[in-house]
Structure 1
Amino acid sequence: MKKLALNYVDTFKGLSKEVWWLALITLINRAGTMVIPFLSIYLNKNLGFTKEQVGTVMVCFGLGSLVGSWLGGILTDKIGYYKVMVGSLVLTGILFFGLQFLETYTQFCLGIFIVMTVGDIFRPAVFTALNAYSKEENKTRSLTLIRLAINLGFSVGPAVGGTIIVAFSYTGLFWVDAITCIVAGILLLKVLHPKKAKVLDTHENKKGKSVLTDIPYLMFFGCMVMFSFIFVQLMSTLPLFYEEYYHLPENVIGFILMTNGALIFIFEMPLVKYFENKKIQHLNSVIIGVLLTALGFAVLLYTASMYASILIGMVLLTFGEMVGFPFSNAFAVKRAKRGNFGAYMGLYSMAFSIAHIGGHKFGLESIKAYGFLQTWQFMAIIGAITVVFLFFLKRIIQKEK
């Protein structure tokens, strides 16, 4: 057991202190956005919005994320990742504070769009900062550490947020969200000021090509939209499947979903380290990740043994996530050095925003029209198609070299 613990700790060695600070700032920021999981309840019960209106607000949420990712890439290339990160964190805090004063449907649609636009400007900037603060051999593990911080933040946030709502109402939640974002911005100013932070990768492409002219990267972007499209079902339609199809109580569903976070926390960094040591190409790793995710949905079709289907499916989905996303991120970072780095990373972030806008709605509409099992077939087929496209992309990249 001691040896396993030491081996686990070893997987984190070699990362710069700047990366660790970025992980802490990301953790504070993501844990601080605890109003988001409760947003639909707040809009429905406190403001009296209909479910259709709540759905439209969530579409505005996704559109804001999309615009923010695009705008963040442009601003990062124009004024630098440091100013973008600080500005995004502080302004998001102020906007979260103001969100509590919005009451009408139109106000909230516009308000959540602006909040998410400003908030997700942060994403391309943090990817660019990670590239600057990481040595070449540590970039994938640095990205994985940030993913761990995000997952931990999303795990802690709802638990703390629920307690705050009970104790202080939603007003307290908006206050805490605002304060944590501003605190994260102040911490960034203190510990990662350009005069204090040590840049390990000073790559600058002064003749950088536009991301829109990089056809292989655009193909990769399309693959990531499809991959994310099926993955987001984990957050919406899958819990519904457990509740409506198998009639599982909320505590059991919570335990199953917690398995995802626990597996990521325990296995993701060692798994990434293993793949790096084996020198597996980034695109090969992404192909494995997408394939595992597709198999995860295919396993759900086997309903003869409920718990075997659920647990094996969750394990496959989680390992697909752990392998697919860190190395897709690493591929994007490496490819981004061909052109304007911020724009490349902004487009990569936009893939997830697009998936959030369309993926949840498609999954829910598919369940309504065809049922759960047919929907899982659709997801598995989309995953298989993504794998085929990734193989084509791999051949194109090989010809480039």
Structure 2
Amino acid sequence: MPRSLWLLVIGTIINVTASSFLWPLNTIYIHDQLGKSLTVAGFVLMLNAGASVVGNLAGGVLFDKIGGYKSILTGIIITTLALAGLIFNHEWPAYIVFLTIIGFGTGIVFPATYAMAGTVWPEGGRKAFNAVYVAQNFGVALGSALGGIVASYSFELIFIANGLLYAVFYLVVFFGFRNIAGETINPAAVIQSSVPEKSRSKLFALSFIASGYLLCWVAYVQWQSTIAAHTQNLHISLSQYSLLWTINGALIVLAQPLVSWFVKFAAKTLKHQMVIGIVIFIISFIAAAQASEFTGFLVAMVILTFGEMLVWPAVPTIANSLAPKGREGFYQGFINSNATGGRMIGPLLGGMLADYFNMTVLFGVLIGLLIAGMVFTFLCDKHLKKGKEDAKSIAVGS
């Protein structure tokens, strides 16, 4: 990998480590510490995710206009200020306000990071996006492990640690990313496609991929919301729940050679890679529905992890392949906003199903949504098959 991408990887690790101190524990904090229902907790997380959707779109547009360096700095400053407020006041309802602002700030950072990865190493293909994805999950493993330990002593320390790590992230970006700012696209280089129909067909294909991506996230986010609370009801400790995310992140880092081998021989295209990953998601939720002890949830998490290793890196790679020159930021922002949309809808939908029905109904609905996501993925390249070059954007080899 080029040096520029290594800097992005390091920055992503710090960013996600900071975030992972808080996000896996949000539902537990709102439900257990603030005494609110799962539906209310889901609504709060929906506000956070809704702000992130706006941030994702803003981050993509900002990348195309002012470049990655300034875009990421803007997101960090907004997030750090909100985290500072959360340190001093994390009671109800201030928690809602600051968490919503944090959602907007972090939302700006991620699409700009992915778009920058694609521009600094265009010849890397999916390897560039997979590097950022692995860095994110290394941060998840580290942050959730430390967060669970810190939370077992005091939730107060979680907010302080989160704020301090974001301050470190700001320094890394300020001094390190400035040197790669010139490697992002020049706004003046933005060009429009000479064939509008081709651009529309690419955006149409991206919309199908994004819809499937959204539904996958609606299901996946339950592990951070309703399933998190469900594990507490089953008397699984907070440290054990945090350990699930540590294993998730560690497995993503350590199992890359195995996944690369599987993709090479069993998933010849990005579309196939996504479909296989969604099938694995379905299997993991069937396993989780049967779990009543930590071991059962551990097995379900391991299966889930292999599914996400196939689905999550494929989506930004497709977006980058489909994006016209100078629109990389917008396409990444669009994809990220759909992922965040799933994270927005998921906690509220899951909370309502768990509160008004039961977990069995919830798991049944989630499996149905994943099947629908698989159908969207199957249909994604229908309008691209007329042009071999366009179809190759999705049917790209490993």
Gaps of 5+ in 1: 1-14
- SS state at 2:178 partner: coil
CA contact (8 A) 1:141 1:273 kept: no
| CA shift for structure 1 position 316 | 2.8
2:111 paired residue number: 124
TM-score, length-scaled by structure 2: 0.81
Aligned equivalents of 2:387, 2:299: Cα separation in 1: 39
- Does 1:224 find its partner at 2:179? no
Aligned equivalents of 1:252, 1:349: Cα separation in 2: 30
Aligned equivalents of 2:244, 2:261: Cα separation in 1: 26
Q: In percent, how many aligned pairs have the same letter? A: 21
CA contact (8 A) 1:43 1:49 kept: yes
CA deviations on 1:272-305 (whole Å, 9 max, x unpaired) are 36525878211111111111112222345667x9
- SS state at 2:248 partner: helix
- In the TM superposition, 1:30-45 aligns within 5 A as 30-33=16-19, 34-39=21-26
CA RMSD of aligned residues (A): 3.5
- Does 1:264 find its partner at 2:252? yes
Aligned equivalents of 1:125, 1:55: Cα separation in 2: 27
1:11 paired residue number: none
Aligned equivalents of 2:175, 2:122: Cα separation in 1: 23
Gaps of 5+ in 2: 389-398
Aligned residue among 112, 122, 125 for 2:99: 112
Aligned equivalents of 2:310, 2:118: Cα separation in 1: 20
Aligned equivalents of 2:167, 2:294: Cα separation in 1: 43
- SS state at 1:337 partner: coil
Cα–Cα, structure 1 residues 237 and 269, in superposed 2: closer, same or farther, change >3 Å? farther
1:294 paired residue number: 282
Aligned equivalents of 2:23, 2:52: Cα separation in 1: 13
Aligned equivalents of 2:261, 2:300: Cα separation in 1: 24
- In the TM superposition, 1:1-400 aligns within 5 A as 15-33=1-19, 34-39=21-26, 50-51=36-37, 54-102=41-89, 105=92, 107-136=94-123, 138-161=124-147, 170=156, 173-194=158-179, 199=183, 205-207=190-192, 214-242=203-231, 244=233, 248=236, 253=241, 255-268=243-256, 270-272=258-260, 275=263, 280-300=268-288, 310=297, 312-337=299-324, 340-400=327-387
What letter corresponds to residue 210 of structure 2 in structure 1?
Answer: F
CA deviations on 1:251-274 (whole Å, 9 max, x unpaired) are 655555544333212113541365
Cα–Cα, structure 1 residues 228 and 164, in superposed 2: closer, same or farther, change >3 Å? closer
| CA shift for structure 1 position 384 | 1.8
CA contact (8 A) 2:18 2:166 kept: yes
CA contact (8 A) 1:131 1:201 kept: no
| CA shift for structure 1 position 187 | 1.7
Aligned equivalents of 1:55, 1:266: Cα separation in 2: 32
CA contact (8 A) 1:264 1:318 kept: yes
Aligned equivalents of 1:269, 1:205: Cα separation in 2: 37
Cα–Cα, structure 1 residues 83 and 237, in superposed 2: closer, same or farther, change >3 Å? same
Greater RCO, 1 or 2 (C-alpha within 8 Å, sep 6+)? 2
Aligned equivalents of 1:346, 1:382: Cα separation in 2: 23
Cα–Cα, structure 1 residues 358 and 207, in superposed 2: closer, same or farther, change >3 Å? same
| CA shift for structure 1 position 32 | 2.1
Query: How many residues in Structure 1 have an aligned counterpart in Structure 2?
Result: 381
Aligned equivalents of 2:152, 2:102: Cα separation in 1: 24
| CA shift for structure 1 position 339 | 6.5
CA contact (8 A) 2:280 2:303 kept: yes
What letter corresponds to residue 227 of structure 1 in structure 2?
Answer: C
Aligned equivalents of 1:341, 1:238: Cα separation in 2: 35
TM-score, length-scaled by structure 1: 0.81
Aligned equivalents of 1:272, 1:73: Cα separation in 2: 29
| CA shift for structure 1 position 394 | 3.0
